[in-house]
Structure 1
Amino acid sequence: MSPHVTRRDLLLGAAAFGVPAILAGCSNPATRTTAPTSTAAAGRGVVTIGSNASDEIPKKSLDEVTKAFTSHDVKINTVDHNTFQENINRYLRGTPDDVFTWFAGYRMQFFAAQGLATDISDVWTEIGGDYTDAFKAASTGADGKQYFVPFTYYPWAVFYRKSLWQEKGYTPPATLDDLVALAKKMKADGLVPIAFADKDGWPAMGTFDILNMRINGYDFHINLMAGQEAWTDPKVKQVFDTWRGLMDYHQPAALGRTWQEAGQSLAQKKTGMYLLGMFVAQQFPEADRGDIDFFTFPEVNPQFGTDSIDAPIDGYMISSKAKNVEGAKQLLKHLGQASSQNIATKLDPGTLAASSKADTSGYSDLQKRGAELVSQAKHIAQFLDRDTRPDFASTVMIPSLQRFVGKPNDIDGLLKDIEKQKVNIFTS
């Protein structure tokens, strides 16, 4: 089966890791242990979760969701989100927790194929009726078995504050030329047009993704991520040339700024718009979240229009070295329930529930619009660092995109270096 989810109905049904010794010195893990509700529960032992939910709102969300899990004691080991992603391979080969937070699609399949994840097809026999076929496909390994339980998802789009746009008379652009004209107007109005940050290495991937899908189409983008297209192809150069043309409108000094700081600049009306996941809402005071709106990135090539978006799916897996496999499977069944996901989407305004049985009646206007955007997309990508090999994403693409952001004029040299490293990694 394809390692990528390509069907339009991917999300129609919904309108890291722990603290091994190798990481102890570079993070401050927050551990929360729920109290067992009975002697019998305590007797079944502890289920540990390795979590990348290090930001305040996602961290609180997981804490609340696991409090409702009463059949076992739960211990959550939380480390910084970026440290999690950069060390996941070493972690899973070392002494991992029973359950760990991870991503759907290619990255899930990669670790399943390495024998680093536990087959949870039996869990899916119980929860499968709550998910669309496409969500199941996103949770299935190349061997046809399931290794992942989807929990929440979120679309990437261009976010802005409605009140600021109404005040200035701005309207969402339909084409790239319209976007540039809007950015020029914002600049003349004393605003930084496009909030931007890449200190953490991954946010710039979203800009690359959307430009590549808008210019070259979804299929080319996914094949490039799979190592089947050359980075020296003129099509890829066009992506970087287009991006370079937008740099004058980006927030400067991006390599020294976190996505949270860029999100706060949007909330403070210092910047006009921000291409990011819907989780940007976490950086807005609760009283201002009703003022958030978005548009999908505009058309660049009429051949592809705006038919593709990034809408990553987050969820949970069981490591192959889990000490409490039965308890871990019980926890995944709990996390797969609509009631659990309802708790999460209520606490976290930047997420949507993966279960088709989730209660969406309490969704904010932003969440309803996000679900609608995803349901209308023809193609759903999982995000660059989830649609390609993890080693290629972390060792090649993070430094390469940061190199481009810092010095965007040597595109030819950059692409030759990426292609050389890609060949070494994908043929090893």
Structure 2
Amino acid sequence: MSRPRTEAEYLARLVPPSVAGVGRRSLLAGAGAGALLGTGLLAGCGSDSDSGSDSKTVSIGSNQSDPKPKEVIAKVMAGFQTASGIEPKINTVDHNTFQENINNYLQGKPDDVFMWFAGYRMRFFAAKGLAGDLSDVWGKLSGYSDAFKKASTGDDGKQYFVPASYYPWAVFYRKSVWQQRGYQVPKTLDDLNTLGAQMKKDGLNPIAFADKDGWPAMGTFDILNLRINGYQFHVDLMAGKEAWTSDKVKKVFDTWNGLLPLHQADSLGRTWQEAAQSLQQKKSGMYLLGLFVAQQFSNEEQDDLDFFTFPEVDSTIGAKALDAPIDGYMMARKPKSEANAKKLLEYVGSKAAADITVKNDPSTLVANGGADTSGYTALQKKAAELVGSATEIAQFLDRDTRPDFASTVIIPALQQFIKNPKDIDGLLNSIENQKKSIFTS
């Protein structure tokens, strides 16, 4: 499977600059189809029983394990119970564990509803028959653009996903630190290198960095590939249509190699939260991450948080493309109670659910355009404008390619590069050989 060429057009128009109703946080990690059997880590509460159950409960598999998003999900589910009289039972699993075991989870007895991602990742499991058709739910939803509906549609034209939120990736920094030092937002890669060198002289880690969990470095690869080679090459590479051994991909890694000295050292032993804390503690000058970085800042400190889109590398390509992943919900192929599952999915796609999220989580942007976003922070408003002004939007590397390729090939390859960036040719030959095997299987 590959992403349709038209996806660039519709994702680029997910949110017009004048509208603040957009999308979300939660991370993504390594992948799914290669998970080990029998781990027991995603037990699930669902069954393969008849969907006509009159039970007043519904189970939800949640990957929102960090404290703030976990709290917000609990409030959304409490709102559903009040509105419907159906008791939601939340099965929360560590985010990375959820991703790594998703394939086995869905083939076993998953929860009635589970959290997942739009894009290739959603279509992959829908095509395998591991998700329930939500086309009738979409007939009852309002507040979504056609773009969101397309991002929720499988290869067969049916909807399998209800978007809750999405969030842009950008370079975050503390305004007070930059004002004190007189730093200026870099417009080009040369500017970024010059700024990084100055930050080093000033005793800062120029770029906070972490890759213990495997997925954060994907964001760096994505943005460099988008800046150096453009959106279409990026999605074609993710779909297995371009060679990893090409000069274009080599240039991405050569450029990244040049930036590595500016990155926080020992990244393979650090979580994204720890890297974010170095920014929060004013020990690092910048951090390329999603809007969820705000989770590591107090409400007062968030007023001091700002961002810019990664600077231009090639003037003919510009700096308008970005990663802005969409998060939401899917239904198991045979939920214990299909009626209750669909009631829950209607609710999480509603204005009411979006309003609860806006009131309780400053690190996300809601997907439902009908939500009351007057309570957005300045950071959220700026994030919505950034997404609205983008010319192309990618879903993040491990959502734009096959799950098994992302987890078993790309994660170890990027970590190997970070550990030893000298043998780029050997690394890319290895990726290409494994890609050929996976994409032809």
Report the equivalent of 1:11.
Answer: 15
Is the CA contact (8 Å cut-off) linking 2:37 and 2:104 kept in structure 1? no
Which deviations, in whole Å up to 9, do the C-alpha atoms of 1:181-227 show, x marking residues without a partner? Answer: 00000000010100000000000000000000000000000000000
TM-score by length of 2: 0.91
SS where residue 58 of structure 2 aligns?
strand
Report the equivalent of 1:89.
Answer: 103
- Deviation at residue 342 of structure 1 after TM alignment: 1.9
The residue identity in structure 2 corresponding to 1:11 is: V
279-288 or 362-371, which deviates more: 279-288
Q: How far, CA to CA, are the matches of 2:2 and 2:217 in structure 1?
A: 26
Is the CA contact (8 Å cut-off) linking 1:3 and 1:142 kept in structure 2? no
Pick from 106, 122, 128 the counterpart of residue 114 of structure 1.
128
- Deviation at residue 321 of structure 1 after TM alignment: 2.6
SS where residue 110 of structure 2 aligns?
coil
Q: How far, CA to CA, are the matches of 1:373 and 1:95 in structure 2?
A: 40
With over 3 angstroms needed to count, the CA separation of the structure-2 counterparts of 1:57 and 1:22, relative to structure 1, is farther
Is the CA contact (8 Å cut-off) linking 1:170 and 1:182 kept in structure 2? yes
Report the equivalent of 1:54.
Answer: 65
Answer yes or no: is 1:202 the counterpart of 2:215: yes
SS where residue 77 of structure 2 aligns?
helix
- Deviation at residue 347 of structure 1 after TM alignment: 1.9
Q: Which structure has the highest helix share of the two?
A: 1
- Deviation at residue 408 of structure 1 after TM alignment: 1.0
Report the equivalent of 1:126.
Answer: 140
Is the CA contact (8 Å cut-off) linking 1:149 and 1:315 kept in structure 2? yes
Report the equivalent of 1:39.
Answer: none
The residue identity in structure 2 corresponding to 1:69 is: F
Identity among equivalent positions (%) equals: 62
The residue identity in structure 2 corresponding to 1:44 is: S
Q: Number of matched residues?
A: 413
The residue identity in structure 1 corresponding to 2:165 is: T
Answer yes or no: is 1:273 the counterpart of 2:286: yes
Answer yes or no: is 1:369 the counterpart of 2:371: no
Pick from 183, 198, 205 the counterpart of residue 170 of structure 1.
183
**1:31-70 maps to which residues of 2 (within 5 A)?**
44-70=55-81
Answer yes or no: is 1:249 the counterpart of 2:262: yes
Report the equivalent of 2:94.
Answer: 80
Structure 2: gaps spanning 5 or more residues? 23-27, 46-52
- Deviation at residue 22 of structure 1 after TM alignment: 3.5
Answer yes or no: is 1:386 the counterpart of 2:399: yes
201-210 or 347-356, which deviates more: 347-356
SS where residue 130 of structure 1 aligns?
coil
Pick from 152, 170, 173 the counterpart of residue 165 of structure 2.
152
Answer yes or no: is 1:416 the counterpart of 2:426: no
Q: How far, CA to CA, are the matches of 2:183 and 2:87 in structure 1?
A: 52
With over 3 angstroms needed to count, the CA separation of the structure-2 counterparts of 1:324 and 1:336, relative to structure 1, is same
SS where residue 75 of structure 1 aligns?
strand
Report the equivalent of 2:154.
Answer: 141
- Deviation at residue 73 of structure 1 after TM alignment: 1.2
With over 3 angstroms needed to count, the CA separation of the structure-2 counterparts of 1:380 and 1:213, relative to structure 1, is same
- Deviation at residue 285 of structure 1 after TM alignment: 1.6
Is the CA contact (8 Å cut-off) linking 1:11 and 1:354 kept in structure 2? no
338-347 or 44-53, which deviates more: 338-347
Q: How far, CA to CA, are the matches of 1:94 and 1:302 in structure 2?
A: 50
TM-score by length of 1: 0.93
